[in-house]
Amino acid sequence: MSQNLSVRAANPAEQAKLLMGQAAPQQTADPSISYNVSLGVNDGDFVLNWTVTPKVYGRWDWVGVFKSPEDAQSNPDGNYMFGGWQWAEDGSPYQTRISVNSGYVVAYVVWNYGADEYQAVAISNPY
């Protein structure tokens, strides 16, 4: 039974559960899309910055803070820092509630229908 996916879940981990097994939309991958992410700081907390060129956001795309690049690459919807993520189309920048820590990264994450999982397509350098 297919679920109504017009409304987003409360967080990426819950969204991943809803998206698993769903048929891919009728669209083709566009290798000309460029994703860029960076971490800023405001009042001791991280600020997420991201751009997508051309400016197209997938409905389920999000950006989040991770403790390491490896956390972003492996199971991003299970490894992101709570209080440190935002749906991409809601706009950049995003002020998190994550205190600045060395080694942390931000990643731009998309749903891969073929692999049936979230995957990071851009990861910042460690802070």
Question: Residue 71 sits in a domain of what CATH number?
Answer: 2.60.40
Is residue 26 situated within a structural domain? no
SS3 assignment, position 28: coil
Contact 5, 13 (CB under 8 A): no
What DSSP state is assigned to residue 32? T
Output the pLDDT for position 27: 47
Is residue 25 situated within a structural domain? no
Contact 94, 63 (CB under 8 A): yes
Give me the number of domains the chain comprises.
1
pLDDT at residue 2 is higher than 60: no
Distance CA 101, CA 67 (A): 8
Q: Which domain holds residue 79?
A: 12-19+33-123
Is residue 28 situated within a structural domain? no
Tokens in use for 71? 């956390």
Residue 51 pLDDT grade (very low, low, confident, very high; cuts 50, 70, 90):
very high
52-82: per-residue pLDDT in tens? 998 888 888 999 999 999 999 999 999 999 9
Is residue 46 situated within a structural domain? yes
78-127: per-residue pLDDT in tens? 999 999 999 999 999 999 999 999 999 999 999 888 888 999 999 999 99
